[in-house]
């Protein structure tokens, strides 16, 4: 059985299984799939919005959402929204610009198969690929090569704050053109993606050393308080809510 307080991370894919916990309203770059393993899950997209129940739900990139405090066991899958896996699951979800339910049969199959695959991370990874792809995996969405180069450059320099001027010079277009092209291709602003990239880099550092101050400085944040504020905005909880748990840890997988 996978550890209930362990977060498994592959390139472009992450997975966590355990008892659900309440979150404040938040949004993140990753596309998220939530599966209620022993009961439906409750989500809402705003403080004035109604809570809705889902057997399985898809939260697209950039969509504000909140989970309630009921003690439901969840499987949470995070996908790089630019990947072919994300494209595949978007094609199976209900058409919606916000939180969407997955079809009943797909949701039931996902929950059943995920429950059977808890032996080790490799089995979970294979199950996620099978559930999402279903042998009809589309090709990766085409993106402008300049944007692809920019994303690679940000990945390689996640330990510092890359300026708009620097990255636009790197890909050979004006800052104004780059800003427009990046949002058009990525569906998120350059500054928003840059911030997400630095948060992910800080989380990776915390897998090696749980010192928040060191991780914050090493990933280009002013201090641990700045990192904590951004982390809360992205994930709806404080870093201490996650990394402060004695049993919680992150495992980077091949």
pLDDT per position as a tens digit, 91-133:
655 555 688 887 767 666 766 776 676 657 777 788 777 776 6
pLDDT at 31 over 60: yes
β-strand 6-10 against 13-19: which pairing, if any? antiparallel
Q: Which residue has the higher pLDDT, 1 or 12?
A: 12
The pTM assigned to this predicted structure is 0.75
Residue 140 has pLDDT above 50, yes or no: no
Domains and CATH numbers, the chain: 6-133 (2.60.120.10), 145-238 (1.10.10.60)
Give residue 205's pLDDT.
86
The pLDDT assigned to 91 comes to 63
Please tell me which residue, 113 or 147, carries the higher pLDDT value. 147
Count other Cβ atoms within 10 Å, centred on residue 79: 24
Whether residue 209 is predicted with pLDDT greater than 80 in this model: the reply is yes
Give 87 or 139, the one with higher predicted confidence. Answer: 87
The per-residue pLDDT for 238 is 82
pLDDT, tens only, 40-79: 889 999 888 999 998 888 888 888 899 887 778 888 888 8
Q: Which residues contact 134 (CB under 8 A, 6 or more apart)?
A: 88, 92
pLDDT at position 135 over 70: no
């Amino acid at each position: 059985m996978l550890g209930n307080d362990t977060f498994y991370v592959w390139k472009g894919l992450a997975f966590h299984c355990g008892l659900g916990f309440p979150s404040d309203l938040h949004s993140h770059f990753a596309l998220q799939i939530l599966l209620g393993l022993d009961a439906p899950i409750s989500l809402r997209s705003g403080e004035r919005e109604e809570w809705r129940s889902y057997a399985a739900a898809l939260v697209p990139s950039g969509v504000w959402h909140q989970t309630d405090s009921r003690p439901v066991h969840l499987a949470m899958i995070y996908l790089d929204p630019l990947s072919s896996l994300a494209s595949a699951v978007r094609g199976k979800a209900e058409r919606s610009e916000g939180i969407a339910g997955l079809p009943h049969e797909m949701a039931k199959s996902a929950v059943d198969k995920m429950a059977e695959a808890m032996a080790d991370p490799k089995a979970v990874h294979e199950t996620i690929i099978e559930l999402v792809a279903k042998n009809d995996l589309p090709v990766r969405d085409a993106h402008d090569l300049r944007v692809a180069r920019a994303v690679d450059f940000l990945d390689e320099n996640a330990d510092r704050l890359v300026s708009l001027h620097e990255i636009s010079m790197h890909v050979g277009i004006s800052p104004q053109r780059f800003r427009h092209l990046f949002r058009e291709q990525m569906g998120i602003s350059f500054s928003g993606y840059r911030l997400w990239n630095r948060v992910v880099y800080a989380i990776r550092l915390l897998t090696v050393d749980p010192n928040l101050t060191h991780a914050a400085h090493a990933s280009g944040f002013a201090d641990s308080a700045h990192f904590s504020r951004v982390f809360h905005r992205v994930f709806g909880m404080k870093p201490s809510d996650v990394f402060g748990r004695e049993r919680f840890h992150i495992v980077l997988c091949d």
